[in-house]
């Protein structure tokens, strides 16, 4: 009940012209960013973050989270009309979305995917409303060892669920290494600066995100010689209405997708896995499973519901524990710190306006988002038809400006360029980028919690197993960490070839 009151309070904060305006701007920018190659959720949020430094934190988070929702919605546009998944979590949408578009049912596919996204998001926001305060309340009793255990569990789950454990570890350790550059938080000593004054204040995660996801993506797109050959989009009120009449039939798919999305969103890097899992399950249980891959409405509904749901749910651990569940959530978390808020369970007590404003805005912005995407698809599809030779340099310029404005340093642009090249090579070699960003954002906090914990125990590592809670989390972390190795052993003994 208290949660509902808080939620109403949140709505009262959000319902001002200024905040509603920020919401609309964020959503439109988000769709824009999601449609364009080289700009995605994390990168779009990173570029705009410096411009929000002077805004009230609640308005800033509303705008930036709306960019996130917008980009999640937009993933479906490129997947369905152009067969180009803007981000990895919309890959599964292309399986049935593009065939549908080729059959002249693009409007139907788009309506279904947006509606599915909406349901997935709604389910996750409901979960956040009622679960996040509980999680935060529980986490209030955490000390440094517990926090370190939560961080450890987060990072271990990346290793356990990633494709290549060694590459995940490398990406993560590079993130930690980057976070260590500059002055040590505890002793004040300089680390990894090698006498370079520009490195004194460290490497900013925003610049790294812009380089890896922005410039790197442009280089990849260029190499593929992107030619957008889109299918015509016919979407109007009639198509929308007729599709909506069909959707209730698939309530089971919607529900399953929402549950999968919400569950996977907790864990880092979940959106992609969630969309594939939801697609797979829908196919398995569907009456028309033979038609999957050839243009089945359910095949669009399932992955989009799960992907958007998981994107939303990624904010739960971000708000309640200070641990982001996705790369974009990591950038948002970095934003909290820049606005002077301390992420973690105390947020629910000290920053009620902020937290409940954000949650209320998630309800509202997904409704507004649905209306905006349904009515503006032709406009955004037209943007994709602008030749790449115009889009590419403009995106590079926007990235450069975004990197510069982080702290008005030319050095940042060079760092961005370097990470652009690293991003290009890493992407081609299948190094995951999300662990790097997460480690870069959380690196300092992880290290400080570790050092505080071990300080309290005078160097005994046993502090991480000193009570059942921290012990269980550490044990789960180790299990996940060595999961690939366990899988390898089991695979060998039973003679099952590993994929």
Partner 1 sequence: MEQKHNQERTRAAWLTYQAVEMAVAAAIFLVGATMMADALRIGIGWASDGPKAGYFPFRTGAILSISGVVIFFRAFFGKHRNQAPFVTWVSFKLVLAVLIPTVLYVLVTQFIGIYVASALFIGGFMRAIGRFNWRKVIVVSIATSIMLFWMFEIQFMTPLPKGPLESLFGY
Asked if 152 touches partner 1 (CB under 8 A), the answer is no
**Residue-wise DSSP of 26-65:** HHHHHHHHHHSTT--HHHHHHHHGGGGTTS-HHHHHHHHH
Asked if 18 touches partner 1 (CB under 8 A), the answer is no
The span from the CA of 266 to the CA of 313, in Å, is 6
The span from the CA of 410 to the CA of 281, in Å, is 50
Residue with the two structure tokens 């125990």: 457
Closest to 58 measured CA to CA, from 298, 268, 335, 304: 335
Asked if 222 touches partner 1 (CB under 8 A), the answer is yes
Nearer to partner 1, 237 or 458 (CB): 458
Structure tokens at 277: 């899992």
Asked if 497 touches partner 1 (CB under 8 A), the answer is no
The neighbour count for residue 349, using CB atoms within 10 Å, is 12
Asked if 454 touches partner 1 (CB under 8 A), the answer is yes
Identified binder of partner 1 from the candidate list 135, 239, 421, 476, rule CB under 8 A: 421
Please choose, out of 148-156, 220-228, 317-325, 363-371, the segment that lies near partner 1 by the rule CB under 8 A. 220-228
CB of 214 to partner 1, least distance (A): 11
Contact mark string toward partner 1, 332..371, x via CB under 8 A: ----------------------------------------
| 3-state secondary structure string across 319-359 | HHHCCCCCHHHHHHHHHHHHCCCCCCCCHHHHCHHHHHHHH
Asked if 182 touches partner 1 (CB under 8 A), the answer is no
Asked if 479 touches partner 1 (CB under 8 A), the answer is no
Q: How far is CA 20 from CA 7, 63, 366, 375, in A?
A: 17, 9, 13, 18
Contact mark string toward partner 1, 49..88, x via CB under 8 A: -xx-------------------------------------
CB of 431 to partner 1, least distance (A): 8
Closest to 194 measured CA to CA, from 206, 208, 177: 177
The span from the CA of 311 to the CA of 377, in Å, is 21
H/E stretch holding 183: strand 182-183
Identified binder of partner 1 from the candidate list 126, 131, 169, 239, rule CB under 8 A: 169
Nearer to partner 1, 148 or 380 (CB): 148
CB of 339 to partner 1, least distance (A): 17
Please choose, out of 26-34, 113-121, 178-186, 304-312, the segment that lies near partner 1 by the rule CB under 8 A. 178-186
CB of 191 to partner 1, least distance (A): 6
Closest to 121 measured CA to CA, from 77, 79, 164, 66: 66
Nearer to partner 1, 206 or 302 (CB): 206
Nearer to partner 1, 428 or 490 (CB): 428
Decide if 437 contacts 327 (C-beta within 8 A).
Answer: yes
3-class DSSP assignment, residue 201: coil
Nearer to partner 1, 374 or 396 (CB): 396
The span from the CA of 418 to the CA of 423, in Å, is 9
Binding residues for partner 1, rule CB under 8 A, total: 56
Asked if 418 touches partner 1 (CB under 8 A), the answer is no
CB of 386 to partner 1, least distance (A): 10
Decide if 64 contacts 27 (C-beta within 8 A).
Answer: no
Asked if 417 touches partner 1 (CB under 8 A), the answer is yes
The neighbour count for residue 467, using CB atoms within 10 Å, is 12
Largest pairwise CA distance in the chain: 70
CB of 495 to partner 1, least distance (A): 16
Please choose, out of 136-144, 150-158, 211-219, 300-308, the segment that lies near partner 1 by the rule CB under 8 A. 211-219
CB of 387 to partner 1, least distance (A): 6
Residue with the two structure tokens 């550490």: 474
- Inter-helix orientation angle 41-48/17-35, to 10°: 130
The span from the CA of 316 to the CA of 237, in Å, is 34
Contact mark string toward partner 1, 393..412, x via CB under 8 A: xx-xx--xx--xx--x-x--
Nearer to partner 1, 181 or 347 (CB): 181
Residue with the two structure tokens 């015509």: 232
Identified binder of partner 1 from the candidate list 103, 224, 293, 371, rule CB under 8 A: 224
Nearer to partner 1, 382 or 455 (CB): 455
Paired with 183 in beta bridges are 190
Catalog residues that contact partner 1 under the rule CB under 8 A.
Answer: 50-51, 166-167, 169-170, 173-174, 176-177, 180, 184, 186-187, 189, 191-192, 194, 215, 218-219, 222-225, 387-390, 392-394, 396-397, 400-401, 404-405, 408, 410, 413-414, 417, 420-421, 424-426, 428-429, 447, 450-451, 454-455, 459
């Amino acid at each position: 009940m208290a949660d509902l009151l808080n939620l109403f309070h949140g709505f009262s904060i959000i319902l001002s012209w200024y905040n509603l305006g920020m919401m609309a701007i964020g959503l439109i920018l988000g769709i824009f960013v999601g449609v364009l190659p080289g700009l995605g959720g994390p990168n779009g949020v990173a570029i705009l973050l410096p411009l929000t430094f002077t805004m009230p934190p609640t308005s800033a988070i509303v705008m930036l989270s709306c960019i996130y929702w917008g980009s999640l919605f937009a993933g479906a546009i490129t997947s369905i009309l152009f067969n180009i998944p803007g981000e990895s979590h919309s890959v599964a949408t292309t399986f049935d979305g593009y065939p549908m578009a080729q059959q002249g049912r693009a409007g139907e596919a788009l309506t279904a995917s947006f509606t599915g996204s909406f349901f997935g998001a709604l389910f996750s926001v409901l979960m956040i409303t009622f679960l996040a305060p509980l999680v935060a309340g529980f986490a209030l009793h955490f000390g440094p060892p517990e926090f370190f255990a939560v961080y450890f569990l987060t990072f271990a789950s990346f290793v356990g669920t990633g494709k290549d454990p060694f590459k995940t570890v490398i990406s993560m350790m590079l993130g930690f290494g980057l976070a260590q550059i500059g002055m040590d938080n505890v002793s004040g000593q300089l680390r990894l600066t090698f006498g370079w004054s520009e490195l004194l204040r460290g490497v900013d995660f925003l610049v790294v995100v812009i380089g890896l996801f922005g410039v790197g993506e442009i280089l990849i797109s260029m190499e593929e010689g992107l030619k957008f050959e889109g299918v015509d989009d016919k979407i109007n009120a009639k198509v929308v209405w007729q599709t909506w009449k069909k959707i209730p039939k698939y309530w089971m798919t919607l529900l399953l997708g929402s549950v999968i999305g919400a569950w996977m969103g907790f864990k880092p890097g979940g959106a992609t896995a969630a969309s594939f899992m939801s697609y797979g399950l829908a196919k398995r249980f569907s009456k028309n499973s033979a038609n999957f891959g050839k243009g089945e409405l359910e095949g669009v509904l399932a992955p989009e519901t799960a992907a958007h749901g998981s994107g939303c749910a990624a904010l739960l651990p971000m708000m309640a524990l200070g641990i982001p569940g996705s790369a974009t959530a990591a950038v948002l978390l970095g934003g909290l710190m820049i606005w002077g808020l301390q992420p973690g369970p105390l947020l629910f007590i000290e920053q009620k306006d902020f937290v409940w404003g954000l949650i209320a805005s998630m309800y509202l912005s997904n409704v507004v988002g649905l209306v905006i995407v349904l009515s503006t698809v032709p406009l955004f599809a037209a943007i994709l038809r602008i030749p790449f030779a115009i889009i590419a340099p403009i995106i590079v310029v926007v990235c450069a400006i975004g990197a510069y404005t982080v702290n008005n340093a030319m050095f940042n642009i060079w760092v961005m360029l370097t990470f652009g090249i690293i991003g290009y090579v890493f992407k081609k070699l299948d190094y995951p980028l999300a662990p790097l960003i997460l480690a870069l954002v959380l690196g300092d906090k992880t290290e400080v919690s570790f050092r505080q914990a071990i300080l309290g125990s005078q160097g005994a590592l046993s502090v991480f197993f000193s009570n059942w809670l921290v012990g269980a989390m550490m044990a789960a972390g180790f299990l996940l960490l060595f999961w690939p190795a366990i899988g390898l052993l089991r695979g060998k003994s039973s003679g099952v070839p590993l994929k």
